[in-house]
């Protein structure tokens, strides 16, 4: 009888040290702490270590090295090499800093990067060459197939992926699992999929629109021959069985590592899955800390640069009040977007509930604390009908319960989606939440007059929303009037550096009532 453990991280998003870069306080997360748990797993059993994607992007740490030291390979890879990862899967955010940056990271990796369903147009072969690997450990043959959500073209800058084709992940799994089973005859078939579950794992009920972004449940149901499905992308903490397939998802930012333990005697006798959570008792791995200390100091110095002074109050204490009543921070972002794009209508979101807004002395830390995504801007040509549909979509974020305004549960499960509630400027609108969803926008004005629903308007928004991301289907395939390919964080910093003072705009550009 042989026992083997598979360790799994996913959606690390550039967090090595357990540092909240927004306030520099320690949090229970990060690869440096995960490394301590990993050592215990390796002492217990022979093991395989897999990262399931979204590894090199997502924190101020990775932003600094991608934007300020782009010729230097990401320090994330040095740490991954130190931890002896056996493979990584390409996540959707791996493309955010461009193909060249990704390929530099891959070039210095001591392990392969897999994705069977991302195809290079020139060669018609899987991107980066390897769709799967065979790993023999303790005399057991493991086949590990990598897959990535094929919804990437709906979000990503087209310039970053123009040489690639994204095949349906489930269809690709069917093809490759059959081929691997027939040609490699593995003892264990593992699929590592940077995507999540589109249905409730217990009931099979749909939990989101079936766009193809997440196909984990479908893969378990339709693809024969899989023993283990590793998932990610949704930042959930899961250990499940679906149609006899062991399914795990270890959250995000290094808050946990999944361990799948197999006992094998010619055939698989048992499979168990566990999530090991990072907590206050989890020690930081000293070697990882030592290896990253110089890089961490450089990032901290960058983040502490003072840029401007706020003459007034732009701090955020209650994110839901921002979404209900507006806020000078949101006004600033919308006004900046309009200024840069040279249009008079804009929409943006408060991306997460820890957004602090701007304090009196604004630093780079404050900018990246609020604007956590590497978004660029696009100007779309939209009709008034499109704008109204988008406002109705945002209005569905709230619902009434016992005459109180609450967040619609569909925006909280299976994962929180505060970034999918937009606030607009350049128009004035009123929303009545007691009306049925889809009929809540009661007033919609432009330049003091009712907005003409048949008229066309130029509207600036981030590239994620412009692609229809967040189920804003009314924006998909609309004409792009202007593309501004500069990271929004840089645009904010450049704007604030032009003046010693930032004067808040406290006006409300919308009204939400019960």
Of 241, 268, 300, which residue sits at a domain end? Answer: 300
Lookup: tokens for 70: 């782009």
- C-alpha closest to that of 86 among 120, 63, 109, 70: 109
pLDDT of residue 114: 97
- What rounded mean pLDDT belongs to the chain? 94
Residue 62, domain extent: 2-300
Phi-psi region of 499 (alpha: psi -120 to 50; beta: other; left: phi over 0): beta
Evaluate if residue 6 carries a pLDDT over 80.
yes
pLDDT of residue 373: 80
SS3 per-residue string spanning 314-338: EECCCHHHHHHHCCHHHHHHHHHHH
**Do both 296 and 312 map to the same domain?**
no
**Do both 282 and 367 map to the same domain?**
no
Helices (H), 162-306: 169-184, 216-222, 286-303
> In a 3-state reduction of DSSP, which class is residue 484?
strand
Full DSSP string of 424-481: EESSEEEEETTSPTTS-EEEEEETTEE--TTSEEEEEEEHHHHTTTTT-GGGTT--EE
Residues 43/88, Cβ–Cβ less than 8 Å: no
Task: Tell me phi and psi for residue 498, to 5 degrees.
Answer: -75, -15
pLDDT of residue 265: 87
**Do both 130 and 20 map to the same domain?**
yes
Confidence of residue 63 (pLDDT cuts 50, 70, 90): confident
Q: What angle do CA 203, 205, 208 make, to 5 degrees?
A: 140
**Do both 339 and 246 map to the same domain?**
no
**Do both 45 and 194 map to the same domain?**
yes
Distances in Å between the Cα of 458 and the Cα atoms of 112, 274, 461 are 44, 50, 10
Q: What angle do CA 327, 401, 209 make, to 5 degrees?
A: 80
Q: Please count the structural domains in the chain.
A: 2
| Mean pLDDT of all residues in 432-448 | 97
Of 300, 322, 348, which residue sits at a domain end? Answer: 300
**Do both 290 and 322 map to the same domain?**
no
Confidence of residue 428 (pLDDT cuts 50, 70, 90): very high
Span 9-60, pLDDT tens digits? 999 999 999 998 877 889 999 999 999 999 999 999 999 999 999 999 988 8
> In a 3-state reduction of DSSP, which class is residue 170?
helix
Name the helix (H) or strand (E) containing 191: strand 188-194
**Do both 229 and 314 map to the same domain?**
no
> In a 3-state reduction of DSSP, which class is residue 264?
strand
Q: How far apart are CA 398 and CA 183, in angstroms?
A: 52
Of 279, 300, 321, which residue sits at a domain end? Answer: 300
**Do both 379 and 331 map to the same domain?**
yes
Q: Write down the pTM of the prediction.
A: 0.82
- C-alpha closest to that of 48 among 5, 11, 110, 18: 5
**Do both 325 and 420 map to the same domain?**
yes
Residue 153 exposure: Cα atoms within 13 Å on the Cβ side: 15
Q: In what order do the strands lie in the sheet with 164-166?
A: 125-126, 118-120, 164-166
pLDDT of residue 122: 94
**Do both 262 and 319 map to the same domain?**
no
Neighbours of 108 (CB within 10 A): 12
- Find residue 457's DSSP bridge partners: 382
- C-alpha closest to that of 481 among 460, 505, 502: 460
Residue 33 belongs to domain with CATH number: 3.60.21.10
Span 328-376, pLDDT tens digits? 999 999 999 999 999 999 999 999 888 899 999 999 999 988 887 878 8
Q: How far apart are CA 396 and CA 499, in angstroms?
A: 38
Residue 420 belongs to domain with CATH number: 3.90.780.10
- C-alpha closest to that of 214 among 193, 230, 228: 193
**Do both 73 and 200 map to the same domain?**
yes
Calculate Rg over the CA atoms of the chain: 24
**Do both 204 and 331 map to the same domain?**
no
């Amino acid at each position: 009888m042989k026992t083997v453990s598979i360790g799994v991280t996913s959606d690390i998003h550039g967090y090595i040290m357990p540092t909240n870069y927004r306030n520099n306080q320690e949090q229970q997360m990060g690869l440096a702490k995960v490394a301590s748990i990993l050592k215990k797993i390796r002492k217990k059993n022979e093991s395989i270590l897999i990262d399931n994607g979204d590894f090199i992007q997502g924190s101020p740490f990775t932003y600094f090295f991608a934007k300020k030291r782009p010729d230097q390979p990401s320090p994330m890879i040095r740490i991954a090499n130190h931890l002896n990862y056996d493979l990584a899967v390409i996540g959707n955010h791996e493309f955010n800093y461009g193909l060249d940056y990704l390929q530099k990271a891959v070039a210095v990796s001591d392990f392969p990067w897999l994705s069977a369903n991302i195809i290079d147009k020139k060669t018609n072969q899987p991107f980066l060459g390897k769709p799967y690997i065979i790993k023999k450990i303790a005399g057991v043959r493991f086949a590990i197939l990598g897959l990535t959500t094929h919804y990437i073209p709906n979000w990503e800058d087209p310039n970053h992926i123009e040489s690639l084709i994204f095949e349906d992940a489930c269809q690709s799994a069917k093809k490759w699992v059959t081929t691997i089973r027939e040609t490699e005859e593995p003892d264990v078939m593992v699929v590592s999929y940077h995507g999540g579950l589109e249905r409730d794992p217990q009931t099979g009920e749909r939990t989101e629109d079936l766009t193809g972004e997440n196909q984990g449940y479908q893969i378990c149901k339709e693809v024969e021959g899989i023993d283990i499905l590793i998932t990610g992308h949704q930042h959930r903490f899961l250990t499940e069985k679906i149609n006899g397939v062991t399914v795990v998802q270890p959250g995000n930012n290094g808050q946990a590592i999944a361990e799948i333990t197999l006992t094998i005697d010619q055939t698989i006798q048992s499979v168990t899955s566990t999530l090991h959570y990072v907590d206050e008792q989890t020690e930081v791995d000293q070697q990882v800390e030592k290896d990253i200390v110089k890089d961490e100091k450089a990032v901290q110095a960058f983040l502490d640069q003072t840029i401007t002074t706020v003459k007034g109050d732009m701090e955020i204490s209650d994110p839901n009040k921002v979404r209900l009543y507006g806020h000078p921070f949101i006004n600033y972002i919308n006004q900046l977007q309009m200024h840069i794009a040279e249009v008079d209508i804009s929409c943006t979101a408060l991306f997460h509930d820890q957004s602090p807004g701007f304090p009196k002395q604004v630093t780079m830390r404050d900018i990246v604390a609020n604007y956590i995504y590497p978004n660029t801007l696009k100007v779309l040509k939209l009709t008034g009908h499109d704008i109204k549909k988008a406002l109705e979509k945002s209005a569905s974020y709230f619902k009434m319960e016992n005459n109180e305004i609450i967040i619609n549960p569909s925006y909280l499960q299976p994962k929180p989606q505060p970034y999918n509630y937009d606030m607009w400027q350049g128009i004035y609108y009123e929303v009545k939440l007691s009306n049925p969803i889809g009929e809540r926008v009661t007033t919609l004005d432009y330049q003091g007059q009712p907005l003409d629903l048949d008229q066309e308007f130029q509207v600036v928004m981030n590239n994620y929303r412009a692609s229809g991301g967040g189920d804003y289907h009314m924006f998909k395939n609309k004409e792009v009037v202007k593309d501004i390919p500069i990271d929004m964080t840089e645009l904010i910093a450049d704007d604030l550096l032009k003046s010693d003072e930032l004067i808040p705009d406290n006006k409300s550009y919308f009204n939400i009532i019960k």
